[in-house]
Amino acid sequence: MPHMKPLAFDSVAEDIQERFIHYKNTRGFTPNSIQTMARRPNIVRAFMQLNQAVLYEGSVSEELKMLVSLISSQAAGCRYCQAHMANLSKIYDASAEKIARVWEFETADCFTDAERAALRLAYKGALAPAQATAEDFAAAYQHFSEEEVVEIVASVALFGFLNRWNDTMATELEELPAEVAKQTIGDKFGWEAGKHSG
């Protein structure tokens, strides 16, 4: 059960409503997380701007950033974000096999060496305390520029915020990402909504 209800669409500022409409058009729903965050308009505006810059700009593919964010959320244990990132990984063309087997990235043959390096850095960076090593960065630099490594680490850091936000708030999970999570990571990862169920 959520600790705070999302705000109604018509109770937020027009510029925030426009962004909510964008999310609904691209994802199929507006996330309850940002509808809750909207109680502080400048926080939700800053978050949405950071989210845009981290996940949708730069030269690392959106598919890989979504998988990086998925494994970060799995390492952090946030079921809400796991479901959202399974859904976004699917939207940004990650195969069902990659989504289901992201936790097995070291051995699953559906991942390239570059993807393994990024996912390893993301997984170790998402642990608390972070366990990313010089060797992990060296492996990433074999495939990515310093600017691209910044994108990867920024994705991990963005989800550090989101994982803590949604796990603390027990944000109620929307129907679409819940269904995608059941279909993609439910069997392999043992995903269930837990406290995020309605």
Indicate which CATH number applies to the domain containing 83: 1.20.1290.10
Q: Does residue 140 belong to any structural domain of this protein?
A: yes
Domain with 155, as residue range(s), is 62-189
Looking at residue 110, what DSSP letter applies?
A: T
Cα–Cα distance for residue pair 118/140, rounded to 1 Å: 6
52 and 66 co-located in one domain: no
The confidence score (pLDDT) of residue 100 equals 95
Q: Does residue 2 belong to any structural domain of this protein?
A: no
Q: What's 21's domain CATH number?
A: 1.20.5.810
Q: Does residue 195 belong to any structural domain of this protein?
A: no
Contact 145, 56 (CB under 8 A): no
52 and 69 co-located in one domain: no
178 and 130 co-located in one domain: yes
Q: Report whether the peptide linkage leading into residue 177 is cis, meaning its omega lies within 30 degrees of zero.
A: no
Q: Does residue 194 belong to any structural domain of this protein?
A: no
The confidence score (pLDDT) of residue 89 equals 97
Count CB-CB contacts under 10 A for residue 34: 23
* Alpha carbon separation from 15 to 7, 146, 197 (Å, rounded): 15, 34, 29
Of 172, 136, 150, which is closest to residue 34 (Cα–Cα)?
172
The confidence score (pLDDT) of residue 69 equals 98
Q: Does residue 104 belong to any structural domain of this protein?
A: yes
Backbone angles phi, psi at 171, to 5 degrees: -55, 130
Cα–Cα distance for residue pair 173/183, rounded to 1 Å: 15
22 and 96 co-located in one domain: no
> Element (H or E) spanning 99, and its range?
helix 96-101
130 and 38 co-located in one domain: no
pLDDT, tens digit only, all 198 positions of the chain: 899 999 999 999 999 999 999 999 999 999 999 999 999 999 999 999 999 999 999 999 999 999 999 999 999 999 999 999 999 999 999 999 999 999 999 999 999 999 999 999 999 999 999 999 999 999 999 999 999 999 999 999 999 999 999 999 999 999 999 999 999 999 877 889 999 997
Contact 152, 60 (CB under 8 A): yes
Query: Strand, coil or helix: what is 39?
Result: coil
Backbone angles phi, psi at 96, to 5 degrees: -60, -35
The confidence score (pLDDT) of residue 188 equals 74
The confidence score (pLDDT) of residue 1 equals 85
Query: Strand, coil or helix: what is 146?
Result: helix
Q: Does residue 4 belong to any structural domain of this protein?
A: no
Looking at residue 196, what DSSP letter applies?
A: G
93 and 159 co-located in one domain: yes
The confidence score (pLDDT) of residue 68 equals 98
- Out of 56, 75, 92, pick the residue that ends a domain: 56
